[in-house]
Every structure is written in structure tokens, then in C-alpha cells.
Amino acid sequence: MPHATRLTPVAAPITDLHERILTRLASWRPARVMVIGDYMLDQHVYGAAERLSPDAPVPVLMAGDPRDIKETPGGASNVASCLRALEAEVCCFGVLGGDPEGESLRRHLSSMGCAVDGMIVDPSRPTTVKRSLIGLAQHRHPQKMFRLDFESREPLGRAVSERLLGSVLAAMSQVDVICIEDYNKGVCSPTLCHAVIEGARALGIPVLVDPAAIEDYSRYRGANAITPNRSEAELATGMAMPLDATVEHNARLAARLLGDVQLEAVVLTLDRHGSLLLERNGHPLHVPTVARKVYDVTGAGDMILAALAAARANGFAWDESVAFANAAAGLEVEVFGAQPIPLSSVRRSILALAGHATGKTRSLADLMVELAVHREAGNRIVLTNGCFDVIHAGHVAYLREARQQGDVLVVGVNSDEEVRRQKGEGRPIFSERDRLEILAELHCVDYLIIFREPTAHELLKAVRPHVYVKGGDYRPEEVNEHALVRELGLEMRLLAHRPGLGSSSIVERIRKLDAARTTTGT
């Protein structure tokens, strides 16, 4: 295997890797992605599971209305959903049954903003449906009890297959990257895969494959990359897993696949151990993931494929793409069921992994990433600003009340230069670094940011909070930012001023006391 001269994996330089990803994310654009594969509808029936059946040692699910079934996209549909969450433009190509479930899945894809012209109806087969029974033990966390599958694994008929392939080839030139999501349900036949890969290669479009659990990967030959897990790779290579799988064993799996399937790269997913990346003419690279509390692994593989595709379409190197995908999949396993992870959440995770999200002080760019996550969660963002030089009880009461106006409090703090300009020589008493350190200890403060402009206009334009809070004996029209607040359509609230607790008056009192002591010699 000349492309893999060393089979001992090296560890990726993680801090440098995440810094490079943050740089890439700054110029992120919506990728145009084609998703081909086995589209499924996931159905969830919820109920209480608090007793065993009297006639068999099995739990009883006390469901509600049998018509009250939660439906979500699954299989290739979930890849499309994950890509939409990563801000990609998605066109879907697959097969649906001529049944209500097929219509429901089409509606779900359309409502997500996916193009569905490539979804072919085949009345001779059912739409693939995975119906899960979800029990809530003592009304706590949901747990999957049982699953019913409705599907056909028969190959597509010739006419349907040719129609699907024709629509794929006709639309191929309009996309940046192609994803093949194969669950071995009859759609991703060798004929279709070969034709898609050959057509994409002629156009210079990369093809990424999440392979089925099958023994023969020849149908994927010539793709740019595949993303099997370790057990799938062992099945496809016939290389038995040792009792204690070593990194060298994983590297040999990747090397075998790279050569046999004639790939550009193999991304071997290793659950909690992250991924192993092997590029042609390169050395195996172990890209670890952060240790997380795993709640449900459903959808993690779909998230990996989607994140890799979006990253590669944005010019990420392979190691950057894998680390980005690891971060996205790590967030996926922390939630129940297949839930798409928004780009803002992945960005926030990368920030934390790069060490940018420690403490409460943020740069403006990092703050924007974290606030996007709060907006998606429906949290109300509150912004206030000030010098906060010589912090006192009035400041504490004011900030506590400001925090009560919403869910997240951002405090803009004037720079030392601006405090000096506003307050005169001898101010600030405490440097901006000291003021930030003191404010960070207040539980009511969520984020801190230094701003260097005379007013908060630019900060307001960037943050665009739900509520802008000011303190003191002002009328709204006397606030410098009043016109901008109205222009942006924001809410402004003025909080009561506590007399006698202004920083300037406190500083003046201290100076007078100090002068008196100096005069009397005490």
C-alpha cells in the first residue's frame, strides 16, 4: 500500500486545528449539496412505561391518542435536515412509496426548505418508516423501548432506477458536493452509484459516501471519501476485530479501504474516540473528540456526513473537516433522537474547544457566535453598558435588575481611554482588566465586552438585543442611543437611579477624606 507508508496514527494538533476552523468559519457560505439515498420517515409513539404486562415479562407502554405520532426525517432525510441546519442549500434525490407516509415525508423536506423535485414515487414499494415506541419511566427521560420497521429492501425496478438516475445527472452540475447515504434499501445500487461517481468526477464535484453495512464496497469505487464506523469497515474488509482494537488495527482498516475502493480519503468513525483520517499519500491521523455525556447515538453518522460535506464545500482541509464533523456529532449524541445541530451551536462548540469561551469576557466576533445560539433557543438578550469604575452597590442592584428584563445579560464596558475622556484625568481608578474581573464575579452578568467608541451605537448594531437597558434619571429621548434603538425596533427600558451611589460622587468623597487626613496629619 504505497499511499500509507506509516500505519501508526499521529494525533492531530487540536488547538491549532480548532483555530484554523474558526478562521474558516469566518467566511462560511451556504453550500449547495445533493443528497442521494434511502429516505426514511421516523415516527415516535410516546407514553408512560411504569408497569409490566401481567401475561408476559415485558413493559407496557401507556400511549395517548394513537393518532398522535411525532414524525421526523430519518436516513437520507436526516442528512438533508442536518445540512439545512448547517445553512446548506439541499436538493433531495430518492424514492418514496405512493402512500400517506411518502406524502408526509415530502412535506417535511419541503418545509425545511429542501428541493424535492428529485423525489420519485414508486407505488410498488412502501415508504421506509421506522416507528419507535418511546417510554417515559416515572415521567423522566424518554427511552426507546422497541422499533417497528416498514420497508422494502428489493432493488428498484429498472424504469424507476433510470428515472432517478436521469434526474440526478441532469441536476448534478448545479451543486458543490454530493452525499450518498446508503442504508441498503435498494436505492443505491451499484449501477446508480457508479454512474453518479463517474458523472461527478467528470464535473469535478466531490462525492462523499456513508456506506451501508455490506461486505462489498465496490459500488463506491472512485468516490472522494467514505465514512464507515469500525464494525462496518471490518465487515467490508474481512479484517476481524481483535479483542482490544488498537490504533494500528484501525489504520490498517482505513488503508485497506483507501486502496481497494480507490478513494481520496477514509474517515473511520470511532464513537467516543473520535475519528481516524487517512488521505491518499498521507499518514493516518487520529482526530479525537471531546468526552461527552452520550444520551442517544441516533443520527450521529448522518451528522458526520452532513458536516463533512458542508465543510469540504467551504474549502476546509480534510483534518479541519473531520474535527468540525466530530464537534457536530458530539453535540448530536447529547440529545434524544435525530435532531439537526445548528451551525451556531457547532461554532460555539469550536470556540470552547479552542479555548475562546472561558470566563465571561468575549471579543465581538465570539460574542456574536454565542448569542446566535441563545436566539435559536428563544432566549431574550439584554444589553447595557457603562464605565463601571469603582463598582458599588448601586451597580450591583442595577445589573441585577437589568438581568431580570430577559434571559441573557450582555454588559458593554468602556475602555480605559474612553473612561478617561468622559471622566477626566485620574480616571479610571481601576483598569478595564480589573473592572472586567470584578464584573465577571456577578452571577447576573452573562457576557462582558470592552467597547472603545464614545457611545454604544456600534455595539447596539452588532448585538441587536431584545432589550436595551440604561440607568439614571434620563428621559428616553435624552439617551444617546435613543434614535438608533427606535430605528432598529428594539425595546428600551430605563431603570431607577439610586441617589448618592454614583461612582464620581464616591471617588470625590474618597478624595476629600484623603485630603482631610493629609491636612490634619492623621
Say if residues 355 and 15 touch (Cβ distance below 8 Å).
yes
310's grid cell: 458542508
Q: What do you get for the CA distance between the two ends of the chain, in Å?
A: 87
Q: Nearest Cα to 382, choosing from 397, 396, 401, 395? A: 401
Evaluate the omega torsion of the peptide bond into residue 428 and state whether it is cis, within 30 degrees of 0: yes
Cα(92)–Cα(32) distance, integer angstroms: 11
Region of 435 on the Ramachandran plot (φ > 0 left; ψ -120 to 50 alpha; else beta): alpha
User: Half-sphere exposure of residue 151, counting CA atoms within 13 Å on the CB side?
Assistant: 23
The alpha-carbon radius of gyration of the chain (Å, integer) is: 29
Enclosing H/E stretch for 520: helix 503-520
Cα(40)–Cα(432) distance, integer angstroms: 55
Q: How far, in Å, are 158, 438, 493 from residue 443 at the CA level?
A: 65, 11, 21
The reply to whether 302 belongs to the active site is yes
Residue 46: strand pairing partners? 134
- Which of 122, 182, 296, 302 does the annotation list as catalytic? 302
Q: Nearest Cα to 428, choosing from 414, 439, 440, 441? A: 414
User: Half-sphere exposure of residue 67, counting CA atoms within 13 Å on the CB side?
Assistant: 0
Give the number of other CB atoms < 10 A from CB of residue 99: 16
Kindly give the residue spans of alpha helices, DSSP state H, lying in 464-502: 482-488
Q: Nearest Cα to 88, choosing from 311, 267, 328, 301? A: 311
Cα(343)–Cα(83) distance, integer angstroms: 9
User: Hey, is 315 helix, strand or coil?
Assistant: coil
Region of 66 on the Ramachandran plot (φ > 0 left; ψ -120 to 50 alpha; else beta): alpha
User: Hey, is 329 helix, strand or coil?
Assistant: helix
Cα(507)–Cα(221) distance, integer angstroms: 75
Cα(409)–Cα(472) distance, integer angstroms: 18
Residues 6+ apart with CB under 8 A from 474: 494
Cα(430)–Cα(476) distance, integer angstroms: 30
Cα(431)–Cα(388) distance, integer angstroms: 10
User: Hey, is 57 helix, strand or coil?
Assistant: coil
Catalytic residues: 302
